[in-house]
Amino acid sequence: VRKLDIRAVGKRYRSVIAVDDVSLEVADGEFLTLLGPSGSGKTTLLSIVAGLVLPDSGEVHIDGRLATYMPAHKRDIGMVFQNYALFPHLSVFENIAFPLRMRKHREAHIRDEVARVLGIVELPHVADRLPRQLSGGQQQRIALARCMVYQPSITIMDEPLGALDKGLRDTMQLEIKRLHQQYGITVLYVTHDQEEALALSDRICLMRDGRAEQIAPPSELYFAPRSVFAASFIGDSNLLDGRVVSAAEGKLVVDGSYGRIVAEVEETGAFDIGDEVVALVRPESIRLCGSAENRENMVSGVVDSVLFAGGVMNLFVRTNDGTGFQAKLLTSRTTGAVERGARVSLSWDIRDVRL
Ligand code: ADP
Ligand code: MG
């Protein structure tokens, strides 16, 4: 079932194209995240869905109904924003009760429902407090509870954890994930934090300059990015420029200043000899190897720096031609000390190259 259907939506502010011909569907119960740098149009697109901003072109359908020009309060959308403050003069109980009072529910029903959602966010004891008597994380949970109390068709969240410190953000991420899984709510989420997007989402819509650059599940975005922008925005990456020297039998050979890369590709037909390409090798695909042999998918260089991070070691290596390589090595699999200034050879598997 399609909950939300955004069709070719565009929005311009004078000379700025905030949202540029975006089409996107959100399925019932799906957690979809708009991810992108600041200014890429995430908030504008969310505001169009919420009915706070009118698009210049395109259509928005909610639950199969045309909603492009529907007033915000008729859209049945719950909102949690970073700075979407609770009413400061109302108790937690009254804050959560507010959407139900607006809908003229009976008092007994309101009491039951507020108690129910306070239980869900595991804050049953704070009903009588004022928002300022709660921590930032608790306030955000109350905002979530207020949004859940009337079971909106879709919940939209714009950087809801942006104001919280790291520890609390991690806890709240788990909380949001739990709420989503347990209650099957449909979420359209916004963040500029790639780790948050990877951890929470069923699918991610990567935004760039108002456009939807790639829409895919987190692992596909990570392992099969369709652009250099996607490859470098998500995760750490080694990006190597080169030219195609041969393309046959599912294998592509690429030469660059650092050496030769061989990659497995589904369709060699998509490439011609002489094409300029960019190869992506993720740092965790790289391993140390003996330097005697000189072969493809291998580079030698000098260790620039070593950052020990417990389970992994982050190695920065500079090759003779000046290309920088980043390698993430499992500490438990790395024998002997790797030190700054040491000469090392790095290699990776043919299947770990993405062009
Ligand atoms: P994001 O949420 O990804 O940071 P926004 O949707 O807030 O991006 O903004 C996208 C672009 O549209 C930016 O260039 C921003 O400056 C511009 N923009 C957003 N809202 C307005 C507005 N009300 N008036 C003028 N320009 C705006
Ligand atoms: Mg924004």
> Each residue of 105-130: pLDDT tens digit?
999 999 999 999 998 888 999 999 99
The domain boundary residue, chosen from 232, 249, 283:
232
Same domain assignment for residues 198 and 272 = no
ipTM surpassing 0.95: yes
pLDDT per residue as tens digits for the range 141-154? 898 888 888 778 89
* Residues having CB within 6 Å of any atom of ligand 1: 13, 16, 18, 36, 38-44
Range of the domain at 265: 236-354
Provide the strand spans (E) within the chain.
Answer: 2-13, 16-27, 31-35, 57-62, 65-66, 77-81, 154-158, 187-191, 203-208, 211-216, 238-248, 251-256, 259-264, 276-281, 287-289, 298-309, 312-319, 324-330, 343-347, 353-354
User: How close is the Cα of 187 to the center of ligand 1, in Å?
Assistant: 22
CA 58 / ligand 1 centre spacing (Å) = 18
Domain shared by 211 and 249, yes or no: no
- Of all protein residues, the one whose alpha carbon is nearest to atom 17 of ligand 1 is 18
258 and 227, same structural domain?
A: no
Helices (H), the chain: 42-50, 92-102, 107-120, 136-148, 166-183, 194-200, 218-223, 228-233
Is residue 164 scored above 80 in pLDDT?
no
Same domain flag for 221 and 259: no
CA 40 to ligand 2 centroid distance, Å: 8
CATH code (residue 242)? 2.40.50.140
The count of structural domains within the chain is 2
Both 252 and 290 in one domain: the answer is yes
Q: CATH number, domain at 162? A: 3.40.50.300
73 and 147 share a domain? Answer: yes
Q: Are residues 77 and 221 in the same domain?
A: yes
The answer on 209 and 98 residing in a single domain is yes
Domain identity same for 182 and 81: yes
Kindly list the protein residues that place their beta carbon closer than 5 angstroms to ligand 2, a single-atom ion: 43
Place of tokens 């490859």: 231
